[in-house]
């Protein structure tokens, strides 16, 4: 019984001092919100709705929900050419915002968990950003 109590106490202690993925995701989302406000809000608006016929929505965007690597790729390399978002064609240019891998991960985590989007608590990491290659 003592051993069980010690094990449970150790588990509670470790979980209290070692942040889990939920904490990491929450911190990343908070940082990403600031990055979004500085780099993305002008075109995609504060609510992620975009501008009809000019800038695609990020809110409830099938382009990102169905393939999160699209969000990573767009932020990492910029975007030129036609894409289809929620059944509507967009043909504009998004410049590479010049963000670091950590900032890209944070802003994609923010976008993936805002305005009705859900990543199901899956966190985008710097390693995932690093591994994402540009489409040619």
pLDDT per residue as tens digits for the range 56-74: 999 999 998 888 899 999 9
Q: Which residues contact 101 (CB under 8 A, 6 or more apart)?
A: 126, 129, 130
Here the tokens at position 80 are 């030129």
Q: Which residue segments constitute the domains of the chain, with CATH numbers given?
A: 22-131 (1.10.760.10)
pTM of the model: 0.81
Count of CA atoms in the C-beta half-sphere (13 A) of 29:
18
Tabulate helix, strand, coil % of the chain (nearest 5): 50, 10, 35
Q: Which 8-state DSSP code applies to residue 132? A: P
What would the pLDDT profile of 103-134 be if each residue is shown by its tens digit?
A: 999 999 999 999 999 888 899 999 999 999 98
Angle at CA 57, nearest 5°, toward 64 and 75?
55
State the Cα–Cα distance between residues 100 and 123, nearest whole angstrom: 17
């Amino acid at each position: 019984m003592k051993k069980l109590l010690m094990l449970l106490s150790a588990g509670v202690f470790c979980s209290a001092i070692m942040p889990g993925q939920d904490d990491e995701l929450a911190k990343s989302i908070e940082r990403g919100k600031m990055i979004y406000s500085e780099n993305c809000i002008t075109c995609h608006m504060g609510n992620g709705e975009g501008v009809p016929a000019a800038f695609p929505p990020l809110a409830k965007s099938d382009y990102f929900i169905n393939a999160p690597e699209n969000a990573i790729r767009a932020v990492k390399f910029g975007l030129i050419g036609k894409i289809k978002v929620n059944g509507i064609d967009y043909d504009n240019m998004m410049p590479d915002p010049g963000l670091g891998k950590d900032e890209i991960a944070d802003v994609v985590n923010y976008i993936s968990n805002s305005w009705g989007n859900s990543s199901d608590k899956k966190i985008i990491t710097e390693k995932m950003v690093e591994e994402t290659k540009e489409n040619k």
